[in-house]
Structures are given as C-alpha cells and as structure tokens.
Amino acid sequence: MNIGIIGTGYVGLTTGACFASLGNRVICVDNNVQKINMLKKGHMPIYEPGLEELVKQNEKENRIEFTTRISEAVKKSDVIFICVNTPTKENGDADLSAVETVAESIAGHMNRYRLIVEKSTVPVETGIRVKQTIQANIRNNVAFDVASNPEFLREGSAIHDFLNPDRVVIGVESRRAEKILKELYKSFSAPIVVTDIRSAEIIKHASNSFLAAKISFINLISRICDKVGADINKVAEGIGLDKRIGSDFLRPGAGFGGFCFPKDLAAFIRIAEKLGVDMKMLRGVAQANEEQKEFFLKKIEDQLWNLKNKQVGVLGLSFKPDTDDIRYAPAIDIILRLESEGVKVKAYDPQAMLNARTVLNGTLYAKDPYDAAKGAEALIILTEWNEFKQLDFKRIKKLMKRPLILDGRNVYSLEKMKEYGFQYISIGRPAVA
C-alpha cells in the first residue's frame, strides 16, 4: 500500500519505518525542515534502538522517503496517518491545532478516495472533528473515510512494540475503511479489535490511564512498605502473580514520566470533566505521582542534612532507559529541586545529556558513572539503564566521599550493597546501613 505519515515524532517515524519494512511504500512528512533534512541524510532526530538501521534499510530499497510537502504525501498515498503532536495546554486540554491544520491541508490536496487515520493520542470525538474539517475543506466532493488506529508503542522498544502488539485497535465508520486497515495489518498475529471511532479513542486513553494507575498504586504501597520495613519488590511479586492483576507495570520508583502518561492523564481527566464525570481516581493517580518524587527527595534530604554546596552524582536523566527523552522525566524535576537548594549535581546518562543541557544549566556532566561518583557525598540513581546494573562498585566506593547510594529505581540487591559496604537507600525496601 502507499502510506502517508504526517508528523515524524516517535509514533510517526516508527509507524513509517515499520510499515515500510512490511513492504509498503511510505512517505513521511514533517513541517520541520531541519528534521526532514536530517532524516534525508539518514540521521534520526530521536534516539530509538534499531530505528536508524530500519529507516536506512528501507530507504535503500526505496520504500521510505521524507518530505516537508504534505501535498506530495496526499497525492501519493491511499492511507494517511496523522501522527502529529498533541501537547497539553495550561488548562490540561490537549492542543489539537496541529491535527486541525493537517486535516485542512489533507482535504485541500485530495483528488480521489483517501483513508485518513488518527494515530496521535487524541480526545474522544477528535475523529469526528477531523471528518468535519475535511468535509468543510474538500474540493470536488471526493469520497473519504476517517478512522482511529491508536498506537501503544513504548519509547525504547518502539519497533518491537509496533510489530508485536498485544492487539490492534481499529475505529471505523465504513466497511471500506475496515477492509483497508485489516489488509494493512494482515501479517500481524495480534487480535484486531474493530469498533467505532469514539470507542477506539477511549481505548487509548483508558489504557494509558490504567497503566499509570498501576504504577501510582505500587508507588503508594511502596510508601507503606517504607514505613513498616517491608520489601516492595516482594510485595509487587506477590501481587503480580495473580493473573487477574499481572506483574507488568508494578515496578516502584521515583515516579513515572515521559510524554505520554502525564500528558494523557491530564487530558483524560479534563475530557471527563467536560463530560460531567469527575475522575477522582485519576486525579489521585496524578497526585500520587507528584508525591512520589517528593517522597524520594525527602530521602535524599534526610541523608544529606544541609544541602547547600553538597556534591552528589546522578545516574540517569531520561524518563526511562533506552531513550534520550527527558520530557516530564522525574530525574529533571528532582535535580532542579536539589540545585535550587544549593546541591552541586554531576550527572551522567548514556543518551540524554544533550537534551538535559537544554533544561539543566547549572548541572555538571560526567563522562561516565565513575566520573559522576568521584568526590560525591551520594550517588543517586534516577533511571535504570542496563549500563548502571553492572558497575565496579569497589571502584565507585573508593571514588566517593561518602559510600551512600540513593536508588530511585530499586536497581540493586540489598545483599550486594551490604556486601560492598554501601549505605543503600531505595524505594519501599529496608535501608542498608
């Protein structure tokens, strides 16, 4: 099939590269000239494992191309995916101006039937708005369909998630649209849920909210464990083995981040509010997430006593491993708070330091984890990169001013830390003194 992808962020670029790898011809559009120029040269604007290789391979086989001209994509494609950004406005609403502009533009260039699919996470009824916008701007009365096909990929494992989904959700209004989307996903073994557009939109919001709720739930329990000296990792294992609950997304930590959960949660709460439904539970999920960062900060403060001029090393800046994305990363909030209290932070992250420099100006950046630990009164773990799991702790201990590790991701075993002689404070587990 000929596929147009509008927006080359995480979702757009991964969708484009994966559909191309399945044998489709894909044309990706973005209005950011710099981004498109980078992509044309084979450089990725984001770090995502395997993406660059996949794009390059498909470019070589003439299955993927990049342009700033939406007209070109509309002309060449049968199916057009809208994958543009839907950031949060100050009042919590999703800003859908990019979706509207794209819909107008698509309508202006359509000369035969097209299927327009929303893949960005959007409030319920956006599909209907897109349809109305296209209808209002279309010329020559050409036929078209609008569909919703939400994407559930995670950053850091985007390609794998896209190609191996648990389910494919298709929200359609016509048999024609259903047939096209089913054809597009025919090589996938996952079940396909076919529904109306509104239900598909809600599935996406409800899924993200549910997952965020799982994390806030385990984080709240971690605070109880902390108070009574229980072990949250064991508690999570004990809960998760119940098949009705499941063990995924029960990892405690210093809060969740990223561009999806915090933003989508706020948007869903706001959508519900407008519909007259008070999502108290989801407001609690968001609040618990903010409190979780405070909970970890308090542990740091308790240990360091007077914060002014204390030097600490930080490992991890991205909102999770295997990405350079720092949007809504708990690490950034925590560092900003520590720095505002006079703490001197030396941070290391395998991928996210370049991005972090745009928001953390007073921070020093280390060349590796050992450099971050050198002279530090505490080593603070904020992202569980694999690289941090196998460090030379004897060396770290020698380099530090005080052998104190504060672990906001429960990366290390209590026994190991005891063996190495560290004072080790983690989340919801007994402290190693």
Contacts with ligand UDX in 145-164 (CB under 6 A)?
151-155
Closest by Cα among 190, 191, 168, 199 to 181: 168
Neighbours of 292 (CB within 10 A): 25
- Calpha distance 375→256 (Å, rounded): 29
Number of residues counted as binding ligand UDX (CB under 6 A): 19
Catalytic residue among 18, 28, 225, 260, which? Answer: 260
Task: Choose between 63 and 320: whose C-beta lies nearer to ligand UDX.
Answer: 320
Residue type, 188: F
CA end-to-end distance (rounded Å), the chain: 61
Shortest distance, position 328 Cβ to ligand UDX, whole Å? 8
Name the DSSP class of 412.
S
Task: Choose between 107 and 285: whose C-beta lies nearer to ligand UDX.
Answer: 285
Please answer whether residues 285 and 212 qualify as being in contact, where contact means their C-beta atoms are separated by less than 8 angstroms: yes
Neighbours of 276 (CB within 10 A): 6
Contacts with ligand UDX in 260-319 (CB under 6 A)?
260-261, 319
Contacts with ligand UDX in 319-338 (CB under 6 A)?
319-320
Shortest distance, position 276 Cβ to ligand UDX, whole Å? 27
Shortest distance, position 115 Cβ to ligand UDX, whole Å? 22
Shortest distance, position 371 Cβ to ligand UDX, whole Å? 24
Task: Judge residue 126's burial from the number of C-beta atoms within 10 Å of its C-beta, 0-12 exposed, 13-18 middle, 19 or more buried.
Answer: buried
Task: Choose between 14 and 77: whose C-beta lies nearer to ligand UDX.
Answer: 14
Task: Judge residue 281's burial from the number of C-beta atoms within 10 Å of its C-beta, 0-12 exposed, 13-18 middle, 19 or more buried.
Answer: exposed
- Calpha distance 347→313 (Å, rounded): 6
Task: Choose between 127 and 253: whose C-beta lies nearer to ligand UDX.
Answer: 253
Shortest Cβ contact with ligand UDX: which residue? 260
Task: Choose between 326 and 396: whose C-beta lies nearer to ligand UDX.
Answer: 326
Please answer whether residues 6 and 102 qualify as being in contact, where contact means their C-beta atoms are separated by less than 8 angstroms: yes
Shortest distance, position 419 Cβ to ligand UDX, whole Å? 27
Mark 28-67 with x for binding to ligand UDX (rule: CB under 6 A) and - for no binding.
----------------------------------------
Task: Choose between 68 and 287: whose C-beta lies nearer to ligand UDX.
Answer: 287
CB within 8 Å of 234: residues ≥ 6 apart: none
**Residue 260 catalytic?**
yes
Mark 231-270 with x for binding to ligand UDX (rule: CB under 6 A) and - for no binding.
------------------xxx-x--xxx-xx---------
Shortest distance, position 150 Cβ to ligand UDX, whole Å? 8
Contacts with ligand UDX in 195-234 (CB under 6 A)?
208, 211, 215
Residue type, 218: I
CB within 8 Å of 237: residues ≥ 6 apart: 247
Task: Choose between 124 and 134: whose C-beta lies nearer to ligand UDX.
Answer: 124
- Calpha distance 258→320 (Å, rounded): 8
SS3 state at 349: coil
CA distance readout (Å), 157 to 154, 213, 262:
6, 21, 19
Mark 91-130 with x for binding to ligand UDX (rule: CB under 6 A) and - for no binding.
----------------------------------------
Shortest distance, position 306 Cβ to ligand UDX, whole Å? 30
- Calpha distance 175→182 (Å, rounded): 10
Which residue ranges make up the site for ligand UDX (CB under 6 A)?
Answer: 151-155, 208, 211, 215, 249-251, 253, 256-258, 260-261, 319-320
Report, as residue numbers or ranges, the catalytic residues: 260
